[in-house]
Structure 1
Amino acid sequence: MNGLTPLSPLLFPLRHQPCSPPIASLALPKANHADKAHNKVIVVFKDGTDQKDITKAENDVIAQGGEITQRYTSALLGFAASLPDNSVQALNIHPRVNYIEADGPVSAYTKNLIGA
């Protein structure tokens, strides 16, 4: 037996699909119109990442012309930043970064079910 099951043809393509598109393909919101070369992102580190690794990444962002706009230490480990494209690419391959996500406005959507 080759180790394949009747469902293998259905599952095989899924195993090789990325969970999310690479950060380079995301349309990231720009920080502001005055500085069009900067992207607004949230950088989330893997659980257990040492604070010194996060601080070093923050310092690297600042050294490359970026700005840390928020730090996250409770629900997740990471920071929000406005940073140039080259910083996004460097963080995207950082071994302790779990994921990078575009930062932008978020709103809750509710639907009134009473009287509907």
Structure 2
Amino acid sequence: MYNVANKRTFLGVAMAMLLFSCGGKNTDTERAEAIVNQADSAITAGDYDLAVTLLDTLKSRYPREIKVQRGAMNLRPKAIEGQTIRQIEITDSMLAASSHRRDSMMNYFSFVNNP
């Protein structure tokens, strides 16, 4: 009786581990693909910082999902390009505001030629 109970328990635990290990990979793949879809949606919405964060999360959380990471490789340059373009736009607007302020203050200065 003792051996039958141990064998059934062992068999039950082994089956549960087998099912869990097989299902875990598909779940990891599905979760990784969900992160890629979220990153793609973030890029479409213009939230490039979130997209880069999601892609970093994908790389760190699911390092074994190589196929999913390969599919997401084209998203990182798009997100970085979007971040760069946004930063250029911010810098251009700050430059325009600073130039206007400088021009408005030029009346308070005079040129002195001092050899």
Q: Same fold (TM over 0.5)?
A: no
- Structure having the higher Rg: 2
Which one scores higher on RCO, CA 8 angstroms, separation ≥ 6? 1
Identify the structure with the greater helix proportion. Answer: 2
Q: Point out the structure with the larger strand share.
A: 1
- Structure 2 length-normalised TM: 0.25
